[in-house]
Structure 1
Amino acid sequence: MSAFATPTAVTAGQGVDPLFATLYAELHRIARREVRRQGESSPVSATTLLHEAYLDMSRRDALAFPDEGRFLAYASRAMRGLVIDRVRQRQAAKRGGGLDLTALDTQIAEDCSAPEGLVALGDALQSLEALDPALAQIVDLRFFCGLSLAELAPLLGLSERTAQRRWEKARLLLAQSLGEPAGG
């Protein structure tokens, strides 16, 4: 069950600390999901990942979030970046360390067992964010936070159908960036 079943009040421009405390359970769920996705090869525990993301976010000046959705998207990006950085560090220590590209579909969050695939996905998401930050935010909320389209649409002030169209566009752009066929 998502923390969005009973929305909490969010003050415009609210910083990291109050949102982190309010949404700790939801953030921990996201971190657990990310670590579980890595399986036995996970470079970090869920609590460590969550707390490192908090430390990273709290060091940044002038972070303000107008709503929970944007905060969760930013926090999930921070967690994703930490995992990708750790995977890259491990690969640098290994010889070779070829990357496996993963298909981007709605089941990838549960099925992705090769953390190396996250490096390619992270690079593709950075390209997408440079092209269209709103599409990257939808991917963060849908893929990394695990929200359904029905949950993320109201967070972003969109209709469910508009959110679905944007999700499909983001998937197409990511598939192109990953060099995969656009049919899936």
Structure 2
Amino acid sequence: RAGHAVPTTYRVRTASGGTHLYFTTPDGVQLPNTAGTVAESVDTRAAGGYVVAAGSIVPAGRYEALNAAVAAPLPGWLLGILRPAPARLAGPLRLPAVDGSRAAVAALEAECARVAAAPEGLRNTTLNRSAFKVGRFVAWGDLPRHVAEEAFQAAGEAAGLTAAECRTTIRSALDSSLRTVRPREAA
């Protein structure tokens, strides 16, 4: 799903038929848990996360080792995707030039400021909610989608999210908003 060959490493089949791949990280590297950052439906567990071990039995079935390989070192391409964004720089958030109605621009600026100021642990959720809220202006034709995407990308990265995590969250939130938006007259 991420466009790379699957490395030979320790693997476990989950009770639901999925697969866990195990890797070791370089010394001194602490990675976050992710959902959809590597590719759609691909989650990672690292610092503070956990997985069910091979041999465990849950109501859905058994977790079983698929090979005897040891955990391989995390590939560099995957480390690059998973490594947290550098600490955010102090200073004002600079959004791209925005075209759209005054209400749409004001909403976009307010929600991007909310994302950029989100505390650790709430950054992705805040990005999702804020992009969803602004999605109605995209649906109504008041704001071009690419403008909203660029602005939220900048705000998410300023908050410390990875570029890939921002893209995935923004796309999902805007798509969801466009599917469920009420007509302007009913909003």
Is the radius of gyration larger for structure 1 or structure 2? 2
TM-score, normalised on structure 2? 0.25
- Which structure is higher in strand share? 2
More helix by share: 1
